[in-house]
Structure 1
Amino acid sequence: MPPLAPRRPWFPFVFPLLAVLLGACGGPPEPEPEPRVRPVMAVELESPTGLAARSFSARAEAAERTGLAFRVSGQVVSVRADLGDYVSTGTELARLDDRDYRLKVRELEGQLAAAEGKLTEARANFERGRTLVADGTISRADFDRLQAGFQQARGQRDALAEGLATARAALEDTVLRAPFNAHVAVRAVEPFEQVSPQRVVFVLDRLDVIELRVGMPETLVVHRERLTAVDVHFAALGRDYAGHVRAIGVDVDEDTQTYPVRIAVQNPDRRILPGMTARVDFRAAMPEAHLADYFLVPLTAVTEYRGDPHVWRLDEADERVHRVPVSLGPLEREGMRVRGDLQPGQRVVVAGVQHLEEGQRVRLLTEDDIRGARR
C-alpha cells in the first residue's frame, strides 16, 4: 500500500480569506464630513447705473394736522363748520354758551373799579402821611399803618386785575377758531352738546403742502447724497408733482428693515387729498462713466485669497457660496467699487466671510434673526 501524502495545513489560507470577507462587509470608507452650515448676512447687488431711478409706493397725508378743543367747558350753542369745509385763519368753528362767563367778567370789572378807588385813596393818604411824619405831625406808627393800607390796597387791585384777565380769556375761549388755513378733516361736536375742556372736537388738515412717507432700503439709503430729484405721480389725478426730501431717518424700522423718508409736495390748488396713493420716483446722479461696470459693496464683503481680492457670491438655489475674484475700484464713502463675474440682483456675503470655504452651505440670516440678536 503506497504511503499517504501528507496533508497541507489549511489555516494559512483561512486568515487572508477572512480578512478579505471582513473588509467587504465593512463597505466603503465613510466620506469626510461636510463643513457645517454657517449663518451669513448678504446684500443684493444694485446695478451700477440702477440709481438713475427707483420707484416706491406711498400714500399722501397732510403735512400739518391739528386737533382743536375748547379750553373751557360748556354747552355748544352753534357749529359753523362741517366736514370737508375749507376754513381760513380766524374762522369761527363753534361757540359755547357764554352767559356765565360774561357775568363773571362784569362782576370782576365792578370789583376792580372799586379796588382802583380804594387804591387811589390809600395812595393819597400814604403820600400825605410821608409829609406829616417828616414834620412830626403824626407818629411813625401811624405812618406805618398808612403804608400798610396802601400796600394792601395795591395787592387787592393787582389780584382782581389778574382775575379779570383770566375771566376775559375764558370768555374768549368760548369761541373756537381756526389757527391756520385748513380743511376740516374731522367734526366731532353737535349743537346743544355739553363739552369738557381739552376734548378734541375738530381736526384740521393743512393741505397746501402734502407729505408722503416711504421706506427706503439700506442699499439705496447709503446713496442718499446722490439723490437729485423726486417725482411724484398721482394716478387718480393724472398729474406729476415735484417733491423734495424733507427728512431721512437714521434708525431702521424694526418691522420693515427700511429707513423712513418724508417727501414734501406743494399742493397750492389742494387737489391732492390725504389717503391718495402715489408713485414716488427717486432720481440720482449716475456714477462716472469709467465706473459703469463696477458694483458698490460694503467694505466687509471684500476679502483676500492667496493675495488677490475676492467676494463670496451666494447661490440662493442651493444655499452655497462661491468665491468670485474681483478687481478693486475706488474707495467711496458708502463702500468699495468692485468688478468681476457678478450680476445685478445677485447676493454677496457681507458678514462671516473669513470662515467660508468654496461651495460651503450657508444659512442666510432673516430679519427675525437680526431683530432677535438686537434684543
Structure 2
Amino acid sequence: MNRSAWMASLTVLALLAGGCAREAATAPRAEAARPVKTAVVTAGSPVESRSFPGVVEAATETRLAFRVGGPVVALEVGMGERVARGQVLARIDPRDYRVRVRALEAALAEARAQAKALREGARAEDVAALRAERTAAASRLEEARTNWERYRRLLAEGVVAQAAVDRARTAYDAARAALEALDRNLEKATSGGRPEDLEAMDARIDRLEAELAAARNALADTELRAPFDGVVRDTLVERHETVAPGQPVVSLFQDGRPEVTVRVPEAIAAHPERIAGVVCTVEALPGRRFEAEVKEVGRGTGAANQGYPLTVAVRIPDGVVLQPGMAASVTLALRNPSAEGAVRVPLAAVAADPQGRSRVFRFDPSTSTAVPVPVRTGAVHGGEVEILDGLTPGDEIVTAGARFLRPGQPVRRLGR
C-alpha cells in the first residue's frame, strides 16, 4: 500500500470513530432503580393488641397505727418479714390503761351493790333497830305533846309565862319531825328505794359499763396486730418513741395477688367491654407472661393528657414473687369487629397525588416499577391507617418514602 492510500484509510477510520462517539453521547442513559421498603397487604384482625407500661403494686397495702397513744415499748417485726393475721407487730406501754380498767371495775362493782341494796331493802336487824328507835321516838312525841298542853293550861291560869309555852311547842315539833323521819327510813328499809333512785342508779351503772368497755378496748389497742397475712414493707417509728393515736407505725402489704395500674386512652376506658384478654410481663422476669384480669377502670384522668387509670389483678403461679415497684407491661387484647377484613397500611405508605387525593404505590414485580393506586382512607390506629377502597390482601406496596416516588419509577426491594 502506498502512502496516499494509507492516509485515506486513516481518514475513513477517524470519521467512523467520531460518528460512533457522537451517537453514544446522544443515546439516553438507563434510570437507576430506587431502593424501597415493601410489604404485602394482609386482612385486618378482629382483635388488636395494645401495650402500656406500669408498676407492680400490692393488692392491699396499709399503714397501721395504734388507736391510742403512748411510748412504744416493743417492735416485734422488721422490714421484709412475713407475718400472719393477728400477729403482734408492736406494743405501747399499757400501765395507765390497766389502772383505768381496774378503777372502773371497782366503781361498777360498788354501783351494782348499791343498786341491789336499794331493790332488796335493809337487813332484818337494821329494820328491827329502826322499829325500836321509832317506838322510842313515838314515846318522846307523846311526852312532848302532854307537856305542851299542860303549859298551855298553866298559861291560862297565869302560872307560867308565854316563853315556857313556846319552848314546849318547839320540843313537840322537834319530836314530831324525828318520828316522821324514822317512819320514812323504816318504809325505805322495808320496801326498797324509790323508783327515781333506782332509775338514777341504773343510769350510773350503764355509764360505768360503757366506760369500762371503752377502757378495755383501749387496753387491747396497746397491742398492734396484723389485720391480714402479709409482708412488712417498713417500720415507721423507733422503740421508746412516743406515738399519737393514728400515727403510722408499720407499713404492711398483702402479696398474694399483685396488681398493676396503667394509663389507657379514652377509647379503651369508655368501652372496657372491648377487652378480651390481659397479659402482664415484668422486666425482672424476661420471657415470663402472666395472665391477668381487669379489676377496675378509673373515671378521672387526674391531669391533662395522662390517660385513665386501669388496674389489673395478676395471677402468679406458686413460687413466683412479684415485688411492689417492679417495672411491668400490660398488654390488652381489644375486640374490634369493624376491623375484621379491613386493610391497614403504615401512614408513611400513603401520599397525595398532584390533585391532593390519597394514593399508595404498588410494586409491580414484572417491571420492577412503582405503580400508583388511588385509595380511600379511614380511621387512624396508632401508626397505621385503614384503607377502605383501592387495595386487596396480597398486594405488595411501598411502605416508606411514597411521597418521593413518581408513577412508573423503577424501584428495587431493599434486602433483595
Structure-1-length-normalised TM-score:
0.60
Greater Cα offset, 93-102 or 250-259: 250-259
CA positional deviation for 1:254? 3.1
For residues 181-231 of structure 1, what are the alpha-carbon distances to aligned partners after superposition, in whole Å with 9 as ceiling and x for unaligned? 111112112221111111111111111121111111235445532221111
- 2:297 is matched with 248
Secondary structure in 2 matching 1:52:
strand
- 2:376 is matched with 340
> In 2 relative to 1, CA 51–171 (structure 1 residues): closer, same or farther, beyond 3 Å?
same
Secondary structure in 2 matching 1:230:
strand
Identity of matched residues, %: 33
CA positional deviation for 1:256? 2.6
Work out the CA distance in 1 between the residues paired with 2:351 and 2:261: 34
Work out the CA distance in 1 between the residues paired with 2:97 and 2:248: 21
AA paired with 1:272?
Answer: L
Q: Is the 8 A contact 1:93 1:178 kept in 2?
A: yes
For residues 322-360 of structure 1, what are the alpha-carbon distances to aligned partners after superposition, in whole Å with 9 as ceiling and x for unaligned? 6669xxxxxxxxxxxxx8245753679xxxxxxxxxxxx
Work out the CA distance in 1 between the residues paired with 2:333 and 2:276: 6
Work out the CA distance in 2 between the residues paired with 1:111 and 1:173: 22
Which one of the candidate residues 275, 278, 281 is aligned to 1:227? 275
Residues 52-201 of structure 1 correspond to what in structure 2 (within 5 A)? 52-125=48-121, 146-201=194-249
Q: Does 2:343 correspond to 1:293? A: yes
- 1:206 is matched with 254
Unpaired stretches in structure 1, ≥5 consecutive residues: 1-46, 127-136, 296-312, 326-338, 349-375
- 2:266 is matched with 218
CA positional deviation for 1:145? 6.1
Q: Is the 8 A contact 2:63 2:251 kept in 1?
A: yes
Work out the CA distance in 2 between the residues paired with 1:186 and 1:287: 48
Work out the CA distance in 2 between the residues paired with 1:270 and 1:173: 36
Structure with a larger share of its residues in strand: 1
Q: Is the 8 A contact 1:187 1:202 kept in 2?
A: yes
Q: Is the 8 A contact 2:72 2:92 kept in 1?
A: yes
Which one of the candidate residues 319, 323, 327 is aligned to 1:273? 323
Q: Is the 8 A contact 1:315 1:322 kept in 2?
A: no
Q: Is the 8 A contact 1:55 1:281 kept in 2?
A: yes
Work out the CA distance in 2 between the residues paired with 1:79 and 1:218: 47
- 2:407 is matched with none
Work out the CA distance in 2 between the residues paired with 1:322 and 1:211: 49
AA paired with 2:107?
Answer: Q
AA paired with 2:59?
Answer: A
Specify which structure has the bigger relative contact order, considering alpha-carbon pairs within 8 angstroms and separated by 6 or more residues. Answer: 2
Aligned residues: 259
CA positional deviation for 1:281? 1.2
CA positional deviation for 1:87? 0.9
Q: Is the 8 A contact 1:212 1:262 kept in 2?
A: yes
Structure with a larger share of its residues in helix: 2
AA paired with 1:201?
Answer: V
Residues 304-323 of structure 1 correspond to what in structure 2 (within 5 A)? none
Q: Is the 8 A contact 1:89 1:179 kept in 2?
A: yes
Work out the CA distance in 1 between the residues paired with 2:270 and 2:196: 73
- 2:370 is matched with none
Work out the CA distance in 1 between the residues paired with 2:199 and 2:242: 43
> In 2 relative to 1, CA 346–171 (structure 1 residues): closer, same or farther, beyond 3 Å?
same
Q: Is the 8 A contact 2:280 2:329 kept in 1?
A: yes
Work out the CA distance in 2 between the residues paired with 1:289 and 1:166: 65
Q: Is the 8 A contact 1:125 1:146 kept in 2?
A: no
Secondary structure in 2 matching 1:208:
coil
CA positional deviation for 1:258? 1.7
> In 2 relative to 1, CA 269–71 (structure 1 residues): closer, same or farther, beyond 3 Å?
farther
Greater Cα offset, 90-99 or 149-158: 149-158
CA positional deviation for 1:69? 0.8
- 2:167 is matched with none
> In 2 relative to 1, CA 138–102 (structure 1 residues): closer, same or farther, beyond 3 Å?
closer
Secondary structure in 2 matching 1:209:
coil
Q: Is the 8 A contact 1:63 1:210 kept in 2?
A: yes
Q: Is the 8 A contact 1:207 1:270 kept in 2?
A: no
Secondary structure in 2 matching 1:186:
strand
Structure-2-length-normalised TM-score:
0.55
AA paired with 1:340?
Answer: R
